[in-house]
Amino acid sequence: MMNLKGLTMTSIRISDGIVKDEILVVGLANKSTKGSKSTALSIESGDLALDNKALLATLQDLGATGKAEEIIKLPGNSTRLIVFTGLGKASPTYDNEVLRRAAGSAARAIAGNSSATFSLPAKNAQAIGAIAEGAGLGNYLFDRFRGSSKSEQKTPLKSITIHSELAKKSDVKDAIHKAEIIATYTHLVRDLINTPPSHLTPETFCDAITQAVKKAGGASAGLKVSVMTDSQLKSKGYGGIIAVGQGSSNPPRLLQLSYSPKGAKKKFAYVGKGITFDSGGLALKPAKGMEAMKSDMSGAAAVCAATIAIALLKVPIAIEAYAPLAENMVSDTATRPSDVISIYGGKTVEVINPDAEGRLILADALVKAQEGKDLDGIVDVATLTGAQVVALGTRTSAVMTNNTEFSEKFLVSTKKTGEAFWPMPLPIELRASLDSPVADLANIGERMGGMLVAGLFLKDFVADELPWLHLDIAGPAYNESAAHGYTPVGGTGIALRSLVQLALDSISQ
């Protein structure tokens, strides 16, 4: 059973005093001028003065370049080690995402130590927050399922300190507090994704979120969880969730997590795809790569954890989060190609391909989310299509919408977080490919532009006048290659930061 023993609040301190930790992390940039062969290096230690001359000579000897992802460790003076993390091209100010990644790479590289101070160039609360966030996000380990190899794993830092002479400013303190929450709840998303489907079922997903909500203060934080069981879903007509889950001995659920602050300025619904394992059902996926389908609940984890984070940040925006949860399996009770199901609210769908299951559970949840609610917007988050990965690769997610004003606003929010999102169209001419000869629509259509076709399917279940965003995070949700910046191998936690930022940016808009 999923447990949250591992979820500890990431604690980050801010200090303008002397560095007392084991390790000091600073930036290293290059200011190479055209024509010259050697790279001129620049130590970027923010508000901390170092003996740069001696250090630079050693760094040159070592062949340091200051490129992003480069980590160089030297013996320190007051600290055991001084760690240089690449910032790329030297500049009077650095992009917040450059700082976030540099801090994250360093945090990963010094795992196994107990404490570190990060002193990187940052002149305002946002930049300081980005460093804290990067350090906290990079400081992650998933070792719950290790036995004999557990002791070989380098444990994350127990204490992170950010050095800045702005330490006493209230907006800086707020930025550090936000970074702690972002890191902690991104770790929760990653833990849920990395937990194998033998342990993370629809039921245990609900248990884990219930526990996390309790830990966050529950009702006193304005949070409330409710869970619909499979028999309740069946009797109330949630045909999508039932159809996808009926081939599994782990029954489906619909989790609802609401955050209702006093004096809420707006209300959003966040809906996340929660397939705890996607075998493809009777359209069984090939064995190669199927193990990555434990990540098919990344959207559900992101919307739930983001809602808790929004509550802890006391954002005056109400959130109704929905996580339709099911395991897409093969058995004699599994949904057959050609079966017709009825989505919550009555629209019928011919299931041509049981591997296009995400849209079926999302349709139920989208309809439910709009029921009698005065929403200002609705956002769904899903590892929905392989076509998304083909179109945008593994690090850029897609945004589709029925309201460009809403998506443009969202894209502004995402830029602040460093999460890469790119707008994609919903071309109306592709909709006809979803017509079915027997039902209201079919669950698959034209293969070309499969990400857009999936978006058009969902659009059928959203009121035209309600601003809606569909986020396809199929590629970025799960890192199957090497760790980079603050991103580990496995679950990444993508979308959480943008969902939180959207709420924050909606307070005054």
Task: Print the binding letters for residues 258-297 with Mn ion: x by CB under 5 A, - otherwise.
Answer: --------------------x-------------------
**Choices 302-310, 381-389, 403-411, 489-497 (CB under 6 A): range interacting with ligand BES:** 381-389
Quick check: helix, strand or coil at residue 185? helix
To Zn ion, the closest distance from the beta carbon of 435 in angstroms equals: 23
> Rounded CA gap, 416 and 394, in Å?
20
Quick check: helix, strand or coil at residue 194? helix
Active site residue 373: no
Determine the longest span between alpha carbons in the chain, in angstroms: 77
- Selection from Mn ion, Zn ion, ligand BES, none that 434 binds (CB < 5 to 8 A by kind) is none
- Cβ within 8 Å of residue 219, ≥6 positions away: none
Does residue 278 touch Zn ion according to CB under 5 A? yes
- Selection from Mn ion, ligand BES, Zn ion, none that 82 binds (CB < 5 to 8 A by kind) is none
> Rounded CA gap, 246 and 25, in Å?
52
Quick check: helix, strand or coil at residue 317? strand
Active site residue 144: no
> Rounded CA gap, 386 and 75, in Å?
46
Q: Are strands 23-30 and 41-44 parallel, antiparallel or unpaired?
A: antiparallel
Please select the residue that binds ligand BES; options are 450, 485, 490, 493, rule is CB under 6 A.
450
**Choices 37-45, 151-159, 271-279, 399-407 (CB under 5 A): range interacting with Zn ion:** 271-279
Does residue 70 touch Zn ion according to CB under 5 A? no
- Selection from Zn ion, ligand BES, Mn ion, none that 247 binds (CB < 5 to 8 A by kind) is none
To ligand BES, the closest distance from the beta carbon of 430 in angstroms equals: 13
Cβ distance 255 to 225 under 8 Å? yes
Other C-beta atoms closer than 10 Å to the C-beta of 38 total 8
Q: What would the two tokens of residue 184 be?
A: 């902690």
Catalytic residue among 285, 347, 395, 409: 285
Please select the residue that binds ligand BES; options are 44, 97, 180, 296, rule is CB under 6 A.
296
Site for Zn ion in 313-372 (CB under 5 A): 358
Nearer to ligand BES, 223 or 241 (CB): 241
**Choices 218-226, 357-365, 400-408, 472-480 (CB under 5 A): range interacting with Mn ion:** 357-365
> Rounded CA gap, 9 and 136, in Å?
10
Does residue 472 touch Mn ion according to CB under 5 A? no
Q: Euclidean distance between the first and final Cα of the chain, in Å?
A: 42
Residue 88 belongs to what H/E stretch?
strand 81-89
**Choices 275-283, 406-414, 435-443, 492-500 (CB under 5 A): range interacting with Zn ion:** 275-283
Q: Which of 294, 326, 116 is nearest to 190 (CA)?
A: 294
Binding site for ligand BES (CB under 6 A): 278, 296, 353, 355-358, 383-387, 389, 444, 450, 474
Residues near Mn ion (CB under 5 A) are 278, 355, 357
Residues marked active site are found at 285, 359
